Amino acid sequence: MRSLVLLVAMIWAPFVWAADLEDRQMFEGAAAETTLRVISSTDTDIFAPILEGFLAQRPDLRIDYAVAGSADIVTLIADCPDCYDIAISSAMDLQLKLANDGLARRLSGLEQTAGTQWRQTLFGFTLEPATIVLNRAAFAGRPVPETRQQLIEAVRADPAHFRGRLGTYDVRLSGLGYLFATQDARTSETYWRLMEVFGSLDARLYCCSGDMIDDLAKGDLFVAYNVLGSYASTRPETRDKVAIITPSDFATTMMRTALVLDATGEEAAATDLVAYLTQGAWADAAQPEYPLPSIGVSDPARLNVVSLEPGLLVYLDRLKRQIFLEAWTSALVR
Amino acid sequence: MRGSGWSLRRRLTLTLIGGAAVLAILFYLVVRTYAQGIAQQSQDRILEASVTSLMDAAVVRGGQIELDLPYAAFSMLDTAADDRVFYAIHQGDVLLSGYEGLSSGPFAPMGEPRFATRGFAGGDVRVATLTHSLPASPRPVLLTVSVAQTRDSLSGTLLTISINAAVFGAVFFLLAAGMALWTSASTLRPLGQIAASVARRGPSDLRPVTRSVPTELSPLVTSFNALMTRLSHSLTQSETFIAEAAHRVRTPLATVRSHAEVTLMRVDKDENRQALRSMIRAIDESSRAAGQLLDHAMVTFRGDQLDKQDVDLVSICSDIVDRLTPVAEMMDLDLTISSDGPVPVQADPILVQNAVRNLVDNALKYSSAESVVHIHVSAQPGPSITVTDQGIGFPKDQIELLSQRFQRGDNARDTVGSGLGLTIAKDVAEAHGGRLELKNLEAGGACAVLYF
């Protein structure tokens, strides 16, 4: 086991940077006896309703909910595989690699539709498309773009207006941003042309969705590309100020996935939480604009869902990542 | 001959079933091995495609390898069982990217990928490794690409095939076992039929077996028939010999007896008279035995070739009563006969006469003076002749044995007799398809019943 951990640590070496928890909160069940340790890339306030719903069913549990960036999650787990019971992340590729490298436990008794789980270790429970979020005020009197091509045209039509007002993930820092970028690049050349345009207009790079949406709401940013639109719709104060556009050419869609770490001592309780997530029961109870659309209620047909398959490992390869980042940097960073 | 050493049928059945079991197991192993080969081959082909596509994507720039991994290289390894995938890319012997320890140098250029199965990251994996020498200046660069995949999907396929093969094997075995049972039964049936037909025969039926038999059995049956012929011939000879001997002995005995009687009248001395009486008594015994041997030989002979006629049992018995009444009177015995009217049967009158005479003879012999020997002829329920006396009866524990040849009751030691009388009566009854029943009367005395 130790050699496996060492192995994993070495493989992840390119991703290692100061990995810290962004947040850590305790959710107590009514009669809590057992603690489930969850490490997640989802902000606590967004995930809290789900956890509370689960604890209402399982009052004997207490959930230690830690939040970290999706790339950091991998580092934290590699450093200490038995520090957490469950890993929840939006970076499907990183999660798949954890499962592929043998860090996830196979769970029995979980019914899943085909394509939403991998090896009974990795379970998708949401479908969330990458969207283009616009500042409504900035687009007043202008056509609202529905596709990447239209966005390119809109920006090119008035470069001065958009200079320094375009934003997207810094894929060097964000695991989810890297996943969306690589899948976009796989799907269409339009992505590179869009990035060229972004780069030529001094696009701002962000580590996280939250900052981007904050800046959009403030009006510092006019366009945020590849943001989880759901994040923007959560907060009432931003909802009116932004327009969330699911690109109609293709909408790269990720599944938020959960896995139970192989080193867990609480397999039964952890399996129950994963089952609660995959059943999507929380989606009915939550408000309609709740930002995590359950996998059951979304319509995957019109979405370009990233599939859970070994191909996801390709862009995590050191050489591949190097080539991709070089291309991305040369397009965006001037 | 030992009776229960081993069974031909069991041996045949076991051999056939054993053969079927061996075939079924062989079938299972062959199918499994074949399927394993095919499944492994298909996994190897995909791994080869993956390795080749990685190799094709490599370019050398400034002595350094650049490898833009094609997405398909790994996505083509997607399986129903979601097998895990590992890879390693080496330049020379240095790991450029991928999983450490998956493959290790020194590597040498090869035209075709090399495959191996080994343990990695907590499971069995199939590894395909391909090394190419890429042209570059100042010297060529050695690139090694290894792609590995776990064997879960393969095992799943194999398990399905194995289960199917096992089911087919089991069904084949069951069918073959059923056929083995049927085959051995039907093969050995003629043997059983011959044995049964021989077993069903009467004790004196020595005819050859004439039914058609399988070729394999004909030597046995031919030998058996030859044995039967010899046996029958030798039996006839010995019966003829006995009859001849008895006949030859009887005449001189009669002469000796008459001389002894004449002499008895002449001598006066008591001890001499005593000796002569013993002599006459011995002569009587011998003569009687000779007579019975003759009777028995005749019964045996006639029993084989029964001369059946319409006869009345009552008239036969009355004749015997008439003939033996003087003898009975000499012994101070009453010989009586009763019947419910004529009892007509199909029978050999000479044999019936012989049988009844022997029974009455016995009854007279074992009766004490002043008692009655009675013959009753009845038609109900079947034709039967009952001879009863008021004598000592049969010894209880020997009733079953008495009708065998030369068997005499323990209580008959003092009486003249050969032990053939009951045998003759029994043989006659059986020759007519009937039987002889011996029992003791509750009031005392013996009872012999001839059923026809």
At A281 the pLDDT is 63
Mean pLDDT, to the nearest integer, of A58-72?
93
As a whole number of angstroms, the distance between CA A63 and CA A54 comes to 10
Residue contact B74–A313, C-beta within 8 A: yes
Mean pLDDT, to the nearest integer, of A311-330?
94
In chain B, which residues have their Cβ closer than 8 Å to the Cβ of A116?
none
pLDDT in tens, chain B (452 residues): 555 678 888 888 899 999 999 999 999 999 989 988 999 999 999 999 999 999 999 999 888 888 999 999 999 999 988 999 999 999 999 999 999 999 987 899 998 999 999 999 888 999 999 999 999 888 899 999 999 999 999 888 889 989 999 999 999 999 999 999 999 889 888 888 888 888 887 666 778 888 888 888 889 889 988 998 898 888 778 778 877 887 788 788 888 888 888 888 888 888 888 888 888 888 888 888 888 877 777 777 777 667 788 888 888 888 888 888 888 888 888 889 988 888 888 888 888 888 888 888 888 888 888 888 899 998 888 888 999 888 888 887 777 777 776 666 666 655 656 677 888 888 888 888 888 888 888 888 888 888 88
As a whole number of angstroms, the distance between CA B149 and CA A58 comes to 39
Same domain, A214 and A325: yes
Rounded to the nearest angstrom, the minimum Cα separation between B37 and chain A is: 25
Residue contact B101–A7, C-beta within 8 A: yes
Q: Which residue of B has its CA nearest to A120?
A: B82
> What HEC string does B122-136 produce?
CEEEEEEEEEEEECC
Query: By residue range, what is the domain housing residue A137?
Result: 129-253+320-332
Q: Who among B68, B74, B121 is closest to A4 (CB)?
A: B121
For residues B20, B23, B28, B31, the Cα torsion angle rounded to the nearest 10 degrees is -140
Task: Please provide the CATH number assigned to the domain covering B306-452.
Answer: 3.30.565.10
Say whether residue A311 is in contact with chain B using an 8 A CB cutoff.
Answer: yes
To probe the interface with A, which of B53, B54, B65, B82 has the most A CB atoms within 10 Å? B82
Same domain, A149 and A244: yes
As a whole number of angstroms, the distance between CA B426 and CA B446 comes to 16
pTM of the model: 0.68
Residue contact A309–B75, C-beta within 8 A: yes
At A9 the pLDDT is 43
Q: Which residue of B has its CA nearest to A117?
A: B82
Residue contact A119–B82, C-beta within 8 A: yes
In chain B, which residues have their Cβ closer than 8 Å to the Cβ of A10?
100
Q: Which residue of A has its CA nearest to B64?
A: A319
Residue A312 lies in a domain: no
Residue A115 lies in a domain: yes
Same domain, A157 and A47: no
Residue contact A320–B73, C-beta within 8 A: no
**Beta strands B64-67; B58-61: pairing state:** antiparallel
CATH architecture of B10-159: 2-Layer Sandwich (3.30)
Residue A306 lies in a domain: no
Same domain, A144 and A274: no
Same domain, A150 and A121: no
Find the helix packing angle between A190-200 and A175-187, rounded to 10°. 120
pLDDT reading at A10 higher than 50: no
Q: Who among A4, A10, A310 is closest to B75 (CB)?
A: A310
Residue contact B82–A4, C-beta within 8 A: no
At B414 the pLDDT is 59
Q: Who among B69, B82, B123 is closest to A319 (CB)?
A: B69
Q: Who among B70, B77, B81 is closest to A310 (CB)?
A: B77
Same domain, A23 and A7: yes
At A2 the pLDDT is 43
Residue contact A102–B122, C-beta within 8 A: yes
Give Cα separations from A68 to A11, A92, B55, B444 (angstroms). 20, 15, 37, 119
Whether residue B287 contacts residue B325, with contact meaning beta carbons closer than 8 Å, is answered with no
Domain ranges of chain B: 10-159, 201-305, 306-452
Q: Residue type at B82?
A: D
Whether residue B303 contacts residue B427, with contact meaning beta carbons closer than 8 Å, is answered with yes
Q: Which residue of B has its CA nearest to A187?
A: B71
Residue contact B71–A314, C-beta within 8 A: yes
Residue contact B98–A320, C-beta within 8 A: no
To probe the interface with A, which of B71, B87, B120 has the most A CB atoms within 10 Å? B71
In chain B, which residues have their Cβ closer than 8 Å to the Cβ of A325?
none
Say whether residue A13 is in contact with chain B using an 8 A CB cutoff.
Answer: no
Rounded to the nearest angstrom, the minimum Cα separation between A7 and chain B is: 7
Q: Which residue of B has its CA nearest to A262?
A: B122
Residue among B95, B70, B58 nearest A7 (CA): B95
pLDDT tens sequence across A188-236 = 999 999 999 999 999 999 988 888 988 998 999 999 999 987 777 777 7
Q: Who among B72, B73, B121 is closest to A101 (CB)?
A: B121
Mention every residue, 6+ apart, whose C-beta is less than 8 A from residue B324. Answer: B335, B357, B360, B361, B364
Say whether residue A106 is in contact with chain B using an 8 A CB cutoff.
Answer: no
Residue A307 lies in a domain: no
Other beta carbons within 10 Å of B115: 16
Residue A305 lies in a domain: no
pLDDT reading at A300 higher than 80: no
Same domain, A196 and A325: yes
Rounded to the nearest angstrom, the minimum Cα separation between B159 and chain A is: 18
Q: Which residue of B has its CA nearest to A14?
A: B97
Same domain, A189 and A237: yes
At A235 the pLDDT is 72
Mean pLDDT, to the nearest integer, of A138-148?
92
Q: Which of A232-246, A263-277, A300-314, B345-359 has the lowest mean pLDDT?
A: A232-246
At A134 the pLDDT is 93
Same domain, A248 and A261: no
State ipTM: 0.87
Q: List the structure tokens of A159.
A: 């470069």
As a whole number of angstroms, the distance between CA B192 and CA B156 comes to 53
Say whether residue A186 is in contact with chain B using an 8 A CB cutoff.
Answer: yes
**Beta strands A223-228; A166-169: pairing state:** parallel
Q: What is the CATH number of the domain that holds A7?
A: 3.40.190.10
Average pLDDT of chain A, as a whole number = 87
Residue A199 lies in a domain: yes
Rounded to the nearest angstrom, the minimum Cα separation between B163 and chain A is: 23
Strands (E), A170-236: 204-206, 223-228
In chain B, which residues have their Cβ closer than 8 Å to the Cβ of A184?
none
| A-B contacts (CB, under 8 Å) | 72
Same domain, A103 and A151: no
Q: Which residue of A has its CA nearest to B72?
A: A311
Residue contact A10–B100, C-beta within 8 A: yes
At B343 the pLDDT is 87
Rounded to the nearest angstrom, the minimum Cα separation between A310 and chain B is: 5
Same domain, A36 and A160: no
Phi and psi based region of residue B248 (left: phi greater than 0; alpha: psi -120 to 50; beta: remaining): alpha
Beta bridge partners of A243: A134
Q: List the structure tokens of A169.
A: 């993930």
At A77 the pLDDT is 93
Same domain, A232 and A271: no
Give Cα separations from A6 to A257, A321, B330 (angstroms). 25, 21, 130
Q: Which residue of B has its CA nearest to A314?
A: B71
Q: Who among A7, A311, A318 is closest to B97 (CB)?
A: A318
Number of structural domains found in chain A: 2
Say whether residue A157 is in contact with chain B using an 8 A CB cutoff.
Answer: no
Residue A111 lies in a domain: yes
